[in-house]
Chains A and B, each alone.
Chain A
Amino acid sequence: MEQLILDLKQQIIEVLNLEDVKPEDIDENASLFGEGLGLDSIDALELIVLMEKNYGIKLRDPSQGKQIFTSVKTMAEYVAANRTK
């Protein structure tokens, strides 16, 4: 799980162009949206693409997103349970 969390942090930094952020700057339990990393709605869409492209996960129910994208840790748990690649 630790490796997956690190991978996700690196992928988030890359796809969201968080140039001044390093993996160690991201608290795996901190909110991705609002107070935490301060991501916006376009970032959320980019994370959905990331899940499909890198892990073969298609999010068909948008209401799931709020729970899955709470933090890097919740993303990692969902990826670990549902990945197809």
Chain B
Amino acid sequence: MALYSDKVMDHFRNPRNVGVIEDANGIGEVGNAKCGDIMKMYLKIENDVIEDVKFETFGCGSAIASSSMATEMIKGKPVSEAMQLTNKAVAEALDGLPDYKMHCSVLAEEAIKSALDDYEKRRQEEK
């Protein structure tokens, strides 16, 4: 059996939504280089809908694939729905991750939530 599912390899080899959003209104970064994984999420939210999302990741194959999948799962979705994203859903959408790589999906969930928190914080400040 291969280390990763075909889906993980597909998202790793052809990651979706890679890059930076210059005028993002929600940015989240989680993880640290010491542990070997850092994910940064950029959100462009309009009328409470995630119009655009991009990511940058320093990490292993499953970290890159988890970031990619997570961005696909929230793109075009209302903020309230994106808040419900779980690491389990990300891992399932990737047809599973090896046990010791599950933390990559946790990181993807946390990165999205961190970016959504940042968006919420900015909105509060604007008021």
Q: Do A and B come from one complex?
A: no
Give me the interface of B with A, judged by CB distance under 8 Å.
none
Residues of A within 8 A of B (CB): none
